[in-house]
Structure 1
Amino acid sequence: MPYFIDVILPLPLQKRFTYAISEAEANFLQEGMRVAVPFGKSKIYTAITAAIHQNPPQVYEAKPINQILDKAPLITNHQLKFWNWIASYYMCAEGEVLKAALPGAFLLESESIVQLTKEANIEETELKDEEYLVIEALQRQSSIKIQEVAKILDKKNVLPILNELVQKGLVLLNQEIYEQYKPKKIRYVRLNSMYDNEANMHRLLDELENAPKQKEALLSYFSLKAQHKKPLKAKELSDKSGVSAAIIKSLIKKEILEEFYKKTDRVSFEEESSLTNIKLSEIQQKAFSEIEAGLVEQDVCLFHGVTSSGKTEIYIKLIEKVIDKGQQALYVLPEIALTTQLIDRLRAYFGDKVLVYHSKYSVNERVEVYQHILQDSEKARIVIGARSSIFLPFANLGLVVVDEEHETSFKQFDPAPRYHARDAAVVLAKLFKAKIILGSATPSLESYFNAQHHKYAFVELNRRYANVLDPEIEIVDIKTKYKKKEMKGHFSDRMLTEIKDTLDGGEQVILFQNRRGFSPVLECNTCGHSPQCPNCDVSLTYHSHNNQLRCHYCGYHIAMQKKCMACDSPEITTKGFGTEQIETELKAIFPDYKTARMDQDTTRGKYAYEKLINAFEQQEIDILIGTQMLSKGLDFRKVNLVGVMNADNLLNFPDFRAHERSFQLMLQVAGRAGRTKKRGKVLIQSYNPHHQIIQQVSTGDYSGMYKDQLEERYNYKYPPFHRLIRITLKCRDYSKTNDAAEWLATGMKNVFKENVLGPEFPPVARIRNEYYKNILLKIPQQQSLGKTKKVLQRIMESFRAIGAFRGVKIVINVDPI
């Protein structure tokens, strides 16, 4: 009797493929194990076993698998179910979900690159013949493809040999894509043990009489050791004693001091937990009890707590209860920057039970975290992560916390699956029969609507922790200020006075401008021409730090122009302003204070967020200027003033969510001010100070904003009353994009009638030389979502069968943001 398996390949294929296996393999294999399978003429991929059965495929003959890569399943049954749901709900392929869910190191394929590790200790006697041949080839050239390994060994199936070498720590895979993770090693020094007795010690000090610097370093070592019991870093010794690193080196050479290295790794955590108990205030305790009661009735609880109300302490208490039951907790955050502060707080409380997972981690670190969670180890009781952490292999999930649940960063834009981590987390929790808490100071309209209609439990915490006052919000009318000539650059006199007073008081300032770069538009005063990107329909943004004009869509850049590219006039001015320009102006106005920027340009490195946040916390920075990264849940004790440089560019945005989002952003940014005893201050500069949203922000009127926006959404048929699916067509050929969009829209209108909007060009209609066109489908509440998607899939299949539209790519975005 033949046996078969259905596998998920890491490719955008609409269905699973079936392969033949032997009876022995069938007895060994389990769902969730990886297998190496041939696909196409010559390629080999790592696929995931999704089902084992005895039904041969009808249309093609099943090829045999190459081999089994795991001894135990790498993917749990819960994950397979979850992937399936994501693929069907967000209308993408399971293979795309697989690619998003697994660290790249797990998915070897014939195109993979093999390299020697830098620290490889090669013991030739321990290598098998074939392994030795691979290592020998790698010693001659820096990297080889897996296909080339197959030629060297003259055999098709080389993945098991490479897997062995990976496990022995001798080779790396896929290294051309990933930066390699080097464990961070810190150099420490200690006194040679022979000087532990007093006689030797005295003799040593006498010998060093002629080397005063070395003696000074040694005496500093003793005094520092007396203060702290911890091991002493070499750098700390040289800083504190004021002697150079060369002096310490000579002490090591003389074998008076010994140096040793300790690996400090973000995934491990050595220190003991220092916070043993968190005392909740009376109001927090009340909210905590209400959440517990709400979670008995419902699986989901929306927790609406104003900024700085102490939501994190309540989450910690809830997590503690779950861990005491032996379950796991997942804490999802919208932004990597946020994890930095939170990790410290959670680790101070839970010690080494906390693991972190996000995209700034290297592939090896991700594998490490993945394995800990799969094995349900003690280290993986709590997982903190950005949106991708919902894909981890939880064994026993008891609680999911989605903090700042209103954040748009929870939605994945590219590539597929275009999932929303908050919505997917609700489904994930249901799979485990776990509870989920959605927390925010400014909940999304959809979540608040669900809570109002008793789909979710609802708990409110409307007082700040320790009765700290809400910040005082003042609106500055810059239209009048410009007329009265009371502006200095982009700062009103009011803003400058407040910044000066705050800095004089030894406190810090945060300034918010949701545009990076120096200036978004460069314009010629003579002919009005502004430099455009040749690949996209956008103007180039000026960045002063490297004197370049850059496209924020495709990365195209040219040197800053001295004269107009159209008419050669030297009269060029910049229009609009970004974070960089504010930084330049501030340095001129307040030269004695330290300013820093936090935007995509300054946080590119792996530890960049951490360095910036730590420097700001330790008051090495006085004024921090940033984009929306700043608005999210960060907790700085000494910030007393927050300035919003221009509220209008948030409001005047062609999107039905623009007003809701502006309200959330401004209120969140405002929440960074005055988080201790002294009342904070927020200044919002606007040309339109009487705008309804700005007025609602100034009074913190969430329910007023909710009612207004809900009414508009109802009138114009938008969520939460109608579901949306956006279909984007893109192609390098302008007329083909148009024709394809017309054909598809007509096909959809025949079925869905007036609920189809478009086709329409988006505000930026060309990116990287591809033309974009959007069609929006609105789905009324009473209409079945599942049936709608099935009809849509059928229309798509007919579309794909048309030869003339073969070059047109289709992107389906369910619940777009």
Structure 2
Amino acid sequence: MLHFIDVILPIPLQKAFTYHITEAEAEFLSVGMRVAVPFGKSKIYTALVYSIHQNPPLAYDAKTIHQIIDDTPVIVASQLKHWEWIANYYMCSLGEVMRAAMPNAFMLESETMISKNEKTEILDSELKDEEYLIYEALSRQSSLKIQDVVSILDKKRVLPIINGLVKKGVVNLHEEIYEKYTPKLVRYVKLHHNHKSSEKLQELLEVLSRAPKQREVVLTLFTMEAALKKPIKVAELAEKSGASTSIIKALIDKSILEEYHLQMDRVQFEGEGDASAKRLSEVQQLAYDEVEAVFQEKPVALLYGVTSSGKTEIYVQLIQKQLDLGKQVLYLLPEIALTTQLVNRLQIYFGEKVAVFHSRYSGNERVEVWQNMLANSEKAQVVIGARSSLLLPFRNLGLIIVDEEHEQSYKQFDPAPRYHARDAAIVLANIFKAKTLLGSATPSLESYFNARQGKYGLVELKTRFNNVLMPDIELVDLADKYKRKRMKGHFSDRLIEEMTETLDEGFQIILFQNRRGFSPIIECTTCGTSPQCPNCDVSLTYHQYRDQLRCHYCGYNSAMLQTCQACGNATLDTKGFGTEQIEAEVKTLFPDKKVARMDLDTTRGKYGFEKIITGFEQREVDILVGTQMLTKGLDFRYVKLVGIMNADNLLNFPDFRAHERSYQLMAQVSGRAGRTDLRGKVLIQTYNPHHNILQQVSTNAYEAMFTEQMNERHNFKYPPIYRLIKITFKHKDYNRVNLAADWYATSLKQLFKTNVLGPEFPPVSRIRNLYHKNIIIKIPPQQSLARTKEAIIKIDNSFNAVKDFRSVRVVINVDNY
């Protein structure tokens, strides 16, 4: 009887791949274990066992697996079910979902090793210079990795040279597998067992009387062991006894002390959890009871609470209830910046039951969270994370909280799976028969529409905590201010006046500008030329702090030009402004105040956010300038004034959600002002103060905005009435992209008639030397989504069968908004 397994490989394959296993392996293996398998000519991948059966594949001969990596499964059945839904709904392969879900350290990769072929003799003259360098390196050491060859030759393309050596029979290639996860070991020390009895200890101290420092270490260790009743770290002992590590090492070498290692988690929570959460106010208690009532009837509730209404406190009560029932809770956040503030708040309540998972954590830290969850340990009962934490192995999920559910950061754009965390969360909760709570001060139109339709329950919190008034919002007409010469740089006289007043009272200020860098365009005033990125159709942004021009799409950078490349004149001027320029202007206006900037450039490191947020919370910084990172639900006590530098570039964005997004962004930024007892103030600078959205923001008229936007969505057939699927074509040849997109669109139009838009070039049509072209398919409410996707897959398969189109990359993005 032959035995086979189907595996999921971490690459975009349409089907699971089958391998041959022995009977013993078949008995040992179970679904969700990792196995190393050969794939292609010489690659070895980590794959997950998907099913075990006895049907040989028809199209190819099954290879045997390389090795079994686990003793127990690393993923659970409910998780696999969720992955399948994501792959199916978002039209990608299971392998891509696996790649996104599994921490990199779980993926054993094979590393190609190069070793010398001892059997062939070759004359040095027969080798080219570069080949000789590799050959010589191999005569000094037994094997090289590809990366070593790259550094020896100091060039990226080394494979042709290695292949040349293989053809000449000089070297052999073989794959070596290595595990990426290394547990963190901490050195501990204890008294050697020979000296445990009191007589032996007396003897020892007498022997050591001539070495006072060593004797001090032994005495310190003895008192620490007695007092602490727990293992003693080498580092702690050195610190307590004031001895250097070399003295401790000498004692270990003499067998007076012995060292041992224990495995530790990299992320530790110090301190106690304080279970007595804050008491809810009457309004909050009412909202909490309403949420509980909704959960009796519906699986999803939308908590629509204005900014600073105390939604987090309600979440805490709901989490506590689930923990009492012995269930896990997932708390999703849109932005890594938010996790820092929130983790601290939740750890005060729940202690070390809180686990954090997001992409700024190292691979090893993520593996530890994953393993704690598989073991259903106490350390992973409340999981806080960005969208990727949806894909973790939950055991017993009771509740998912999606905070700031309107945020576009919940949607993954590249690489596949292009899932939306809010929608995937509702499905995950459904698998566990758990509840989902969506929270926001400015709900997305889809969620509010679903709540209005009765699909979700709706709970509203209309007052701020402590009954603080909503901030006073004032619109400043820039056209008028420029005309009357009342501007200093990009600051109107009103803004400077309010800023001076706020700073004099000892409060803090947030300034919002949705562009990083110093200025987005450099232009020659003589001939009008502006420096463009060589790889993308976009002008380069000037970054003053590095004095360079950078492309925000591909990362290309060059030193700032001194003269115009076209006409040679030194008449280069900056157009437009970003956060850097605002920061520079604020420093000139208020030289004695501390200014900080929070954007992608200043928060690159793992603790980048923490430093800035903590500095601002502890009032070391007076004015914080930033991009939309600032809008994501951060809670600062002493902010009294918020300035939006230019509202127009938000509103005039070519996207059907531009108005909804602008409303959400401005309402969220405004919500940072006046969060304790004083009423905050918001100034919005704009050239068009009569714009509907700005009027709605200034009066907090969410319902009016909702009604107006929904009318437009009805008339122009956009979500949430119609569904969208966007198909993007990418290729470095302009004509081929055009041909491919036209062919595809013609096939689609035969099926979906007028509901196919395009193909059309996007505003930035070339990125990283690839031309982009888009098609949008609109799916009416009555049309079956599953059948539509089947039709698209059929067209896609026949598209890939055309030889000329194979090199064109097709990206299918379901619900691309």
Is the pair's TM-score, using the shorter chain for normalization, greater than 0.5? Answer: yes
| Deviation sequence 1:580-637 (CA, Å, 0-9, x none) | 0000000011000000100000000000000110000000110000000000110000
Where does residue 336 of structure 1 map in the other structure?
336
Kindly indicate whether residue 536 of structure 2 is the aligned counterpart of residue 536 of structure 1. yes
8 A contact 1:727–1:813 mirrored in 2 = yes
Change (3 A) 1:519 1:326: same
How far apart, in 1, do the equivalents of 2:294 and 2:470 lie? 27
8 A contact 1:725–1:814 mirrored in 2 = yes
8 A contact 2:727–2:775 mirrored in 1 = yes
Where does residue 130 of structure 2 map in the other structure?
none
How far apart, in 2, do the equivalents of 1:112 and 1:412 lie? 32
How far apart, in 1, do the equivalents of 2:425 and 2:442 lie? 19
Change (3 A) 1:385 1:142: same
Secondary structure of 1:61 counterpart? coil
TM-score, structure 1 as length reference:
0.84
Q: Trace 1:347-358 onto structure 2 (pairs within 5 A).
A: 347-358=347-358
Residue 72 of structure 2 aligns to which amino acid in structure 1?
Answer: A
Where does residue 494 of structure 1 map in the other structure?
494
Residue 685 of structure 1 aligns to which amino acid in structure 2?
Answer: Q
Where does residue 611 of structure 1 map in the other structure?
611
Where does residue 655 of structure 2 map in the other structure?
655
How many angstroms does 1:380 deviate by? 0.4
Residue 314 of structure 1 aligns to which amino acid in structure 2?
Answer: I
Kindly indicate whether residue 601 of structure 2 is the aligned counterpart of residue 572 of structure 1. no
Secondary structure of 2:750 counterpart? helix
Q: Trace 1:43-62 onto structure 2 (pairs within 5 A).
A: 43-62=43-62
**Which moved further from structure 2: 629-638 or 15-24?**
15-24
How far apart, in 2, do the equivalents of 1:571 and 1:718 lie? 46
Q: Trace 1:464-475 onto structure 2 (pairs within 5 A).
A: 464-475=464-475
Percent identity between the aligned chains? Answer: 63
8 A contact 1:468–1:676 mirrored in 2 = yes
Secondary structure of 2:683 counterpart? strand
How far apart, in 2, do the equivalents of 1:263 and 1:566 lie? 62
Change (3 A) 1:250 1:583: farther
Residue 536 of structure 2 aligns to which amino acid in structure 1?
Answer: C
| Deviation sequence 1:178-215 (CA, Å, 0-9, x none) | xxx99999xxxxxxxxxxxxxxxxxxxxxxxxxxxxxx
How many angstroms does 1:276 deviate by? 2.1
How far apart, in 1, do the equivalents of 2:459 and 2:510 lie? 30
Secondary structure of 1:646 counterpart? coil
Change (3 A) 1:500 1:249: farther
8 A contact 1:183–1:265 mirrored in 2 = no
Kindly indicate whether residue 442 of structure 2 is the aligned counterpart of residue 415 of structure 1. no
8 A contact 2:181–2:367 mirrored in 1 = no
Q: Trace 1:172-183 onto structure 2 (pairs within 5 A).
A: none
Residue 691 of structure 1 aligns to which amino acid in structure 2?
Answer: H
How many angstroms does 1:266 deviate by? 6.4
Q: Trace 1:732-811 onto structure 2 (pairs within 5 A).
A: 732-811=732-811
8 A contact 1:523–1:574 mirrored in 2 = yes
Secondary structure of 1:417 counterpart? coil
How many angstroms does 1:385 deviate by? 0.1
How far apart, in 2, do the equivalents of 1:183 and 1:339 lie? 27
How many angstroms does 1:111 deviate by? 3.2
Secondary structure of 2:643 counterpart? strand
| Deviation sequence 1:615-666 (CA, Å, 0-9, x none) | 0000011000000000011000000000000000000000000000000000
Where does residue 211 of structure 2 map in the other structure?
none
Secondary structure of 2:109 counterpart? coil
8 A contact 1:184–1:265 mirrored in 2 = no
How far apart, in 2, do the equivalents of 1:541 and 1:306 lie? 36
Where does residue 461 of structure 2 map in the other structure?
461
Change (3 A) 1:570 1:395: same
How far apart, in 2, do the equivalents of 1:436 and 1:284 lie? 18
| Deviation sequence 1:9-47 (CA, Å, 0-9, x none) | 001111111111111111111100011111111111110
Q: Trace 1:391-406 onto structure 2 (pairs within 5 A).
A: 391-406=391-406
Kindly indicate whether residue 631 of structure 2 is the aligned counterpart of residue 631 of structure 1. yes
TM-score, structure 2 as length reference:
0.84
How many angstroms does 1:61 deviate by? 1.5
8 A contact 1:184–1:264 mirrored in 2 = no
Residue 435 of structure 1 aligns to which amino acid in structure 2?
Answer: K
Residue 415 of structure 1 aligns to which amino acid in structure 2?
Answer: P
Where does residue 103 of structure 2 map in the other structure?
103
Aligned-CA RMSD value: 2.9
How far apart, in 1, do the equivalents of 2:502 and 2:758 lie? 51
How many angstroms does 1:274 deviate by? 3.7
How many angstroms does 1:53 deviate by? 1.0
8 A contact 2:182–2:364 mirrored in 1 = no
How many angstroms does 1:251 deviate by? 7.0
How many angstroms does 1:60 deviate by? 1.3
8 A contact 1:599–1:627 mirrored in 2 = yes
Residue 733 of structure 1 aligns to which amino acid in structure 2?
Answer: D
How far apart, in 2, do the equivalents of 1:271 and 1:711 lie? 53
How far apart, in 2, do the equivalents of 1:467 and 1:183 lie? 50
Residue 345 of structure 2 aligns to which amino acid in structure 1?
Answer: R
Change (3 A) 1:434 1:590: same
Residue 104 of structure 2 aligns to which amino acid in structure 1?
Answer: G
Kindly indicate whether residue 288 of structure 2 is the aligned counterpart of residue 293 of structure 1. no
Where does residue 78 of structure 1 map in the other structure?
78
How far apart, in 1, do the equivalents of 2:518 and 2:674 lie? 29
How far apart, in 2, do the equivalents of 1:679 and 1:156 lie? 69
8 A contact 1:184–1:263 mirrored in 2 = no
Where does residue 484 of structure 1 map in the other structure?
484
Secondary structure of 1:759 counterpart? strand
8 A contact 1:517–1:543 mirrored in 2 = yes
How far apart, in 1, do the equivalents of 2:346 and 2:715 lie? 44
How far apart, in 2, do the equivalents of 1:540 and 1:686 lie? 25
How far apart, in 2, do the equivalents of 1:184 and 1:11 lie? 39
Aligned residues: 713
Secondary structure of 1:111 counterpart? strand
How far apart, in 2, do the equivalents of 1:269 and 1:467 lie? 34
Residue 560 of structure 1 aligns to which amino acid in structure 2?
Answer: M
Gaps of 5+ in 1: 115-135, 170-180, 186-247
Secondary structure of 2:553 counterpart? coil
How many angstroms does 1:441 deviate by? 0.2
How many angstroms does 1:67 deviate by? 1.8
How far apart, in 2, do the equivalents of 1:408 and 1:621 lie? 29
Where does residue 556 of structure 1 map in the other structure?
556
Residue 789 of structure 2 aligns to which amino acid in structure 1?
Answer: K
How far apart, in 2, do the equivalents of 1:385 and 1:41 lie? 39
How far apart, in 2, do the equivalents of 1:42 and 1:390 lie? 34
